[in-house]
Structure 1
Amino acid sequence: MREIHKPKSAIRHLAKLPVAAALFGAMNASAAPVAEVKLAPVEVKADVKNTKDTDKTYNAPVTRVGRTPQAARDIPQSTTSITKLLMADQDSNSLKEALRNAVGITFNASEGGSSGDGVRVRGFGASNDLYLDNFRDAAQYNRDTFNTDTVEVLRGPASMIYGRGSTGGIINQVSKTPFRGDLNQFSASVGTANYYRAEADLNRSLDDNAAFRVNVMGQKAGSTREGAEMNRWGFAPSVAFGLGEQTEVTLSYMHYQEDNVPDYGVPYYRAVAPGAREEIKGMKGYYRDSIGGSNQPIPHADKFYGLKDFDSETTKTDVFSFNLQHRLNANMLLKNSTRMGLYELDLRASAPGIVFSKDEVLNENTIITRGRKLRMRDQEIYSNVTDLLWDFETGTVRHNVLAGVELTREKLLSTGRTQLDAKGGNCLPSTTVGNPTSGSHAACLAPVKFATADSTADTMAFYAQDLIELTPQWKVLAGARFDHFKAQTENKSFTAATASPDTGRTDNIWSWRTGVIYQPTANQSYYASYGTSFNPSAEAYSTDPKNENLDPEKNRNMEMGAKWTLLDGDLSLRTAIFRTEKTNERQTDIEVGVNKPNVLSGRRHTDGIELEGAGRITADWQVFAGIALMNPRIDIVAGQTPKTVEGNYAENAPRYTGNLWSTYQLNSNWKVGGGFNAMDKRYTSNLNTVNLPAYIRWDAMAEWRLRDYSVQLNVNNLFDTDHFESLYAGFAVPGTGRTARLSASYRF
């Protein structure tokens, strides 16, 4: 963005120039005539920035995904930017709610050793591929958008930029930052299901080139599934110096806490033939499978089977950031960014299971068991990234180079606990399908720590890429990154049982990214690209004896696409056809048995096509829409999983997802809008026996605004459609039923 100084600042800088000093002296000499002075032309260059404020449009032609602001048309991969205005119109206050606008994304439930935002992109896990301002943000918590300007999705492997992970893609949250100018914005919301929320966004100019900003949020919320709660508060101050100057410094801090009642949803079951069911160990005459049913979760999406006065999920997040950038000359920018993240998690949940007596078909008296889920994690992430951005020419060829170094240390202390009764058995009461609130947990003793795993992972990486402009129409992107990734885990037992052995592993691996871009006009861009990524066995820090000697899994993405800007840049359209492959998936080798080293023998892929549009059709009509058609398949299985899954659909990977959201400004006071989210059925495992049914969920909004005041009504799940948000083996979490929220804001 070209910098425009205030008059006072401009005159002060102008007076420092010799020519200007002479001119001012001549003007002050009363007797001497002023000769005409012809100044030499001055070339002005500046960083590429988004000239469209994200609180005024759904269209974001510039994205920060990839470590530096860049035109979306110059990225030969699929990208999605969910702007501040889109989130505000939808009243999307969490990362999950915002990501419903990004096609090809689904969610995992809180299990499998993880909690918080469990995300899948194009059918591949991405819980460790969440980023905050291009720093890895892999901790387990439920992210809020109170300090978020934009949510960005880069699809396909991106290890050349971000290192390990990113099979299906990465998700980057762009924080709000200080700017020159003053802003005072306050909002308060009330809604059904005991929803209360308040926010404040305040920005102050300290002088011509410095500013301070603070965002504050508090929320207390229930659920349409009575019992679950989502309570949180956050505080995020930041200050910037040297805005628009040769050297800029930004310091920021975010504190965020949750105090929730977690929701483990409802169990699901498989319909099997009589005599084919396996009896549950320790429960003679009871089975986990039913002889009837629909191979779907139990039809009681409004029932909460947890213990609302006993279960809890508390998290604490503290993130400190220091960013320094210095322009060495008109074509060279040096950036150094430092991040320290401290995260705490204490989860105490009750997970439902379902059992049947002999020959029983699901009914209101079918037994629901509860299993205790305890998780405690203390996590630290320290990272320093140095980037050099350099534009230069060799003859008629122009180069846009990004080169950098990343140094990161990640630490995780995971504590294993158990909670039993005085006899050493399950202390949680059973209940029934039709009466979820029955039973007492009085028999439960305090949680007991039985083991810890203390893990450390170090990353040292070097990377470089060059966007080469061969002609005004043709560009070539080429990049490579080398990662030295070392992880080790120290295990300790507090019981008579022998602790797991200490483990460790070091990987040295290259990642690649290349693409060809053809831009015949300023509003057309066509590309073909290829990229790789890797998933080490210690991707989530801790190492496992079964995987200690395994090389990383490898992934690749082939993609062709097109991006257009229409209506004078107000509307962006894109489409892509892609194939994402995991070529050597970790699996247990059935020939050597369970608890033996795994092997890299599996293979899976996702083929697909995506279409997306975002922006203004007219000055009053905004739209954001997309659709993804995917074919996520299991290709090769060489482990314990039955060979019959070969050719099946991958778990939690629908064949289509789609969304539409549109608003229309009726007049200066009124705006109305609405849209839908659609998702095909998803299988709960690669066996493809149990599925979550397809659904379409409709939402609507209306806003009345008068000068600095506004009142907005959002109705989500307008037709109260039963649907499931996330899943794990054994249970699925229902999506929100019909809710209404009324928000009032004042901005000056």
Structure 2
Amino acid sequence: MQETLSTRKSPWLALGTLAAYTVMGAARPAMASTPNEDGIAAGEPPVTTKPVRQFNIPAGPLDAAIATYEALTGLTISTSLPGKTLAPFDSRGVSGLYTNEEALKLILAGTGLEATPAAEARSLVVGIARHADTVDVSAGLPDAVAITKFTEPLLDTPQTIVAVPKFVLEDEGNTTLRDALRNVPGISMAAGESGAQGDNLTIRGFTARNDIFLDGIRDFGSYYRDSFDYEQVEVLEGPAGVQFGRGSTGGVINQESKVPQAQDFVKVGAVFGTDLTRRVTADINKPLPDLGDGTAFRLNVVATEGGVAGRPYAENRHYGVAPSITFGMNSKTRYTVSYFHFTESDTPDYGLPWFFNKVAPTSRHNYFGFPDQNYLRTNDDILTGKLDHDFGPNVALHSIARWANYPRQAQITEPQICSNASVSVPVGTVVAKLPTSAINTTLPCPYTPQSDPATIAVNRNQIQIKSVEGDLWEQTELTARFKLLGVQNSFAGGAEGGREVSNPIRTSYAINGINTVPSTNLLHPNPADSFGGIGYISTVVHTTSKSGGAYFVDTVHLGRLFEMSGGVRWDYFDTVFNSYQPVAPPTGGTVSAAIPPIEQIVRKPTYRAAFVYKPTQHGSVYFDYGTSFNPSAESLSLSVATSLLPPEENETYEAGAKYSFIHDRLMVDGAWFHTTKDNARETDPTNSNNIVLAGNQLVKGAQASIVGKLPQGTDLILGYAYLDSAVTFSKLFPTSIGFPLANVPRQTFNFFVTHRLPLRMNAGFGGNSLSSRTASSTVPYVPTGYAVNPNGAGYVVTSVAMKAVPSYWVFNAMVNRPLTDRLELQANVYNLANKFYIDQPHPSHLIPGAGLSALIGVNFKF
């Protein structure tokens, strides 16, 4: 397999060759004394008739560089930036003989700022450069989210919002959305479901599989998201139903895409690493003045191929392209058209099987699938148009429209030994039958926890699906700042709606309850086994949803100290589901019966209210209340039983504080929260057609995070969350009351710190920690021992155990060194201790985290 991977021809090779020629061709002149961005040869005095002086201002914080510059020149520098501070920016410094004007240009180079004359003599004002639509966010900390539904800066927004900035993504060498989200406390990863692959996660104890957004619009495609086109990742934890509609029980995730900028630049990166990893990225931005002032084009591309450390045969192969063009970025009307294409061709891995209550006793490296037969292929296309128009300095219109198409095909092997227990029962309880064999569900499981692993056979359950999801969506909103009765208001309101479709076709390999695909041995699985089995289409489903929502949020500024905000949203969610009868299955096969179209219409309001107290301009204390709901067809999946159920309802209270320190270079926030789900759906373990709203769930806890870009070259991100989750009531699963919810660790902790070292080196160190997690909310513990009932039929449960994955710590490191102003090397090492841990649990399988691995990359920019 190693040889196959290393010799396979794929699109990334061409891009890698182009990148290599680009880097080498452009790097050669940089070795000589060539002009920099301002046309000045590094280290040489410029040709000028103006007086020059010797400058020796080192690289470092911009405010310190400006202070030194003022002392040398006698000029006075002020700023027009919000907050009146230059602290968040870094300067490259200046050394050599230059005029005052040229030296100041070099000090400001790369910051997106420029100096203009002030009214006073010998005074200058530093502000955002003309024709600069945005300032490089790597210069400082994010102070707002990109979504215009939120009118206030992060510091004054009454909600826990963790914005993972670009410099953190780059320092950690993040390549996926999952990697980026490991920087956010309160989030835990989960494995894909049988009908939905791709990113799956939990936020504050509740699944967020359908709460992933791209530039403010739901991105519900079943694919593994790459970070090549991210400006930053924003996680809004807590109540978000008013802004985002259905779902959002624990929060939402927004991916902020890169957009064209006024600066002309090219950034190319090439990464090579263990497990035959190869990755090439390019970020190209080009102003197009011939098409009008304020027009620019940007192109981001990626090509990646590689394995997974510790998991032989698993492979990730994908490439993506994301062009965008913006018109009128210096005008009152700005329009951006962007296209996103992403293709995956992976050899998927569903990891290891459960054995009663824990990971099966087998090697972490064992692969139970068929590497030549298993696949995950996606071909995602997303076309977006965005319009922003300023009616004046305080009123703006924002409109965004999207067409998205998410085709996918997957065949994945899920290793199983015994069937899952349908209910948790205490010791001494009599049960009618034993767990069944996963290979033959008509027979009892022949194993006990004491069985010899060498004798255990593993079922190779085939999850095979072909589907296309689609989305056609439009949202328009108005933001305004105005005074009403002498009180300042910040308003955001609008409407959105569209059409979403899903049409999965599933294949089964079970005949008379027996899997026709060959099984394998637990200790010695053979990936070279020939794939066999009788496959047939078992379900053909089509689901269409038409939905719309109208909302507003208004923030009232009661002087300098207090702010109050409130919002209301009304949603209409109309879903039509129908199932077709597949062709006649083979004898003994089971297919779903044809179901005529059934419809579920949900009309539901959500509410939000908050209060903010600002003791200083650098801090806030807040209280927030919000509601949300989860309809049965939330994930575009419905049945006859669920179509009759009203939505689950959620309610969240949150209190917290946010403060910024060191001239807004350090952001600290903390919050206490309390979320309840009052009518959770439950499926009768004895009758899958009986689904009721009969469960209550609670998650309460606290979390804190710190993000800093500090003086002396220290960057950090740190987060901690404590989650106390529990089933508080259950009609069908009373033994689950008091036990934690599925995939909810009691504690999560993350940190990553980088620091500038001598010899222009930068080094970083960090890690992640999660407490143990249970596999199921309804069946938290399972029987592990039985005895024949001496008083009649059935079996007596003699022992039980919690079905959970253990806690873990994982540590990572980074070292970075610029070779020139344009070329740098970076090395990242992951899982330094080669820790074996379960990263993504599922009630039926377990996916281990990657083992010790390393990446070495070169980044070139010009």
- Normalising by structure 1, report the TM-score: 0.87
Confirm or deny: 8 A CA contact 1:296 1:693 kept in the other structure: no
Aligned to 2:95: none
Q: Which amino acid letter does the alignment assign opposite residue 489 of structure 2? A: H
CA gap of 1:417–1:296, structure 2 versus 1, over 3 A, is closer
Aligned to 1:212: 297
> What residue ranges of structure 1 are gaps of 5+ in the alignment?
4-43, 272-294
Q: 1:597 Cα deviation (Å)?
A: 4.2
- Normalising by structure 2, report the TM-score: 0.76
Segment of structure 1 superposing worse, 194-203 or 111-120 = 111-120
Inter-partner Cα distance in structure 1 for 2:855 and 2:488? 52
Query: Is 1:631 aligned with 2:724?
Result: yes
Confirm or deny: 8 A CA contact 1:182 1:204 kept in the other structure: yes
CA gap of 1:60–1:453, structure 2 versus 1, over 3 A, is same
- 1:264-413 matches, within 5 Å, as 264-270=350-356, 295-354=358-417, 357=446, 360-413=450-503
Q: Which amino acid letter does the alignment assign opposite residue 313 of structure 2? A: G
Aligned to 1:251: 337
Inter-partner Cα distance in structure 1 for 2:524 and 2:162? 44
Query: Is 1:179 aligned with 2:179?
Result: no
Aligned to 1:705: 818
Query: Is 1:86 aligned with 2:181?
Result: no
Inter-partner Cα distance in structure 2 for 1:106 and 1:510? 29
Query: Is 1:162 aligned with 2:250?
Result: no
Q: 1:339 Cα deviation (Å)?
A: 0.7
Inter-partner Cα distance in structure 1 for 2:528 and 2:260? 52
Aligned to 1:542: 637
CA gap of 1:694–1:362, structure 2 versus 1, over 3 A, is farther
Confirm or deny: 8 A CA contact 2:367 2:527 kept in the other structure: no
Inter-partner Cα distance in structure 2 for 1:722 and 1:152? 29
Inter-partner Cα distance in structure 2 for 1:192 and 1:179? 35
| 1:677-726 deviation digits (Å, cap 9, x = unpaired) | 01101111232421111111000000110211011110000110111111
| 1:446-481 deviation digits (Å, cap 9, x = unpaired) | x53343111111111110110110111100010000
Aligned to 1:647: 738
Q: Which amino acid letter does the alignment assign opposite residue 748 of structure 2? A: T
Confirm or deny: 8 A CA contact 2:151 2:492 kept in the other structure: no
Inter-partner Cα distance in structure 2 for 1:439 and 1:146? 35
CA gap of 1:576–1:50, structure 2 versus 1, over 3 A, is farther
Aligned to 1:202: 284
Q: 1:427 Cα deviation (Å)?
A: 3.7
Q: Which amino acid letter does the alignment assign opposite residue 209 of structure 1? A: G
Aligned to 2:328: 242
Q: 1:157 Cα deviation (Å)?
A: 2.5
Aligned to 1:670: 761
Q: 2:508 aligns with which of 418, 443, 459?
A: 418
Q: 1:95 Cα deviation (Å)?
A: 0.3
Query: Is 1:739 aligned with 2:857?
Result: no
Inter-partner Cα distance in structure 2 for 1:72 and 1:254? 28
Q: 1:45 Cα deviation (Å)?
A: 14
CA gap of 1:371–1:179, structure 2 versus 1, over 3 A, is same
Confirm or deny: 8 A CA contact 2:133 2:329 kept in the other structure: no
Q: 2:843 aligns with which of 711, 724, 729?
A: 729
| 1:229-287 deviation digits (Å, cap 9, x = unpaired) | 1110000000001103110000000000000011111011226xxxxxxxxxxxxxxxx
Query: Is 1:601 aligned with 2:686?
Result: no
CA gap of 1:400–1:306, structure 2 versus 1, over 3 A, is same
Query: Is 1:693 aligned with 2:779?
Result: no
- 1:414-493 matches, within 5 Å, as 414-419=504-509, 426-437=515-526, 440-444=529-533, 447-493=535-581
Count of aligned pairs: 677
Confirm or deny: 8 A CA contact 2:381 2:406 kept in the other structure: yes
> What residue ranges of structure 2 are gaps of 5+ in the alignment?
1-79, 83-126, 419-444, 585-590, 782-801
Confirm or deny: 8 A CA contact 1:545 1:597 kept in the other structure: no
Q: 1:50 Cα deviation (Å)?
A: 11
SS in 1 for 2:711: coil
Aligned to 1:519: 614
SS in 2 for 1:89: helix
Q: 1:621 aligns with which of 697, 714, 725?
A: 714
Confirm or deny: 8 A CA contact 2:624 2:654 kept in the other structure: yes
Inter-partner Cα distance in structure 2 for 1:146 and 1:87? 10
Inter-partner Cα distance in structure 2 for 1:326 and 1:178? 17
Aligned to 2:683: 588
CA gap of 1:442–1:268, structure 2 versus 1, over 3 A, is closer
Q: 1:618 Cα deviation (Å)?
A: 2.2
Q: Which amino acid letter does the alignment assign opposite residue 524 of structure 2? A: N
CA gap of 1:176–1:444, structure 2 versus 1, over 3 A, is same
What do you get for the CA RMSD once the two structures are aligned?
2.3
Inter-partner Cα distance in structure 2 for 1:390 and 1:136? 24
Inter-partner Cα distance in structure 1 for 2:172 and 2:447? 48
Inter-partner Cα distance in structure 2 for 1:462 and 1:509? 11
Confirm or deny: 8 A CA contact 1:305 1:436 kept in the other structure: yes
Confirm or deny: 8 A CA contact 1:93 1:146 kept in the other structure: yes
Aligned to 1:680: 771
Q: 1:442 Cα deviation (Å)?
A: 4.2
Q: Which amino acid letter does the alignment assign opposite residue 612 of structure 2? A: I
Confirm or deny: 8 A CA contact 1:120 1:126 kept in the other structure: yes
Confirm or deny: 8 A CA contact 2:160 2:237 kept in the other structure: yes
Inter-partner Cα distance in structure 2 for 1:505 and 1:636? 26
Confirm or deny: 8 A CA contact 1:410 1:457 kept in the other structure: yes
CA gap of 1:77–1:66, structure 2 versus 1, over 3 A, is farther
Inter-partner Cα distance in structure 2 for 1:358 and 1:334? 65
Q: Which amino acid letter does the alignment assign opposite residue 854 of structure 2? A: A
Inter-partner Cα distance in structure 2 for 1:556 and 1:413? 32
Inter-partner Cα distance in structure 1 for 2:148 and 2:700? 24
Q: 1:441 Cα deviation (Å)?
A: 3.0
Inter-partner Cα distance in structure 2 for 1:448 and 1:176? 44
Confirm or deny: 8 A CA contact 1:427 1:441 kept in the other structure: no
SS in 1 for 2:314: coil
Aligned to 2:110: none
Q: 1:227 aligns with which of 313, 317, 321?
A: 313
CA gap of 1:297–1:122, structure 2 versus 1, over 3 A, is farther
Q: 1:367 Cα deviation (Å)?
A: 1.7
Moved over 6 A (4+): 49-52
Inter-partner Cα distance in structure 2 for 1:369 and 1:199? 40
Confirm or deny: 8 A CA contact 1:63 1:70 kept in the other structure: no
Confirm or deny: 8 A CA contact 1:269 1:730 kept in the other structure: no
Q: 2:193 aligns with which of 93, 111, 117?
A: 111
Segment of structure 1 superposing worse, 107-116 or 730-739 = 107-116
Inter-partner Cα distance in structure 2 for 1:697 and 1:362? 31
CA gap of 1:539–1:709, structure 2 versus 1, over 3 A, is same
Segment of structure 1 superposing worse, 246-255 or 301-310 = 301-310
Aligned to 2:650: 555
Aligned to 2:434: none
Inter-partner Cα distance in structure 1 for 2:455 and 2:527? 12
Query: Is 1:530 aligned with 2:625?
Result: yes
Confirm or deny: 8 A CA contact 1:487 1:542 kept in the other structure: no
Confirm or deny: 8 A CA contact 2:509 2:533 kept in the other structure: yes
Segment of structure 1 superposing worse, 89-98 or 614-623 = 614-623
Confirm or deny: 8 A CA contact 1:121 1:168 kept in the other structure: yes
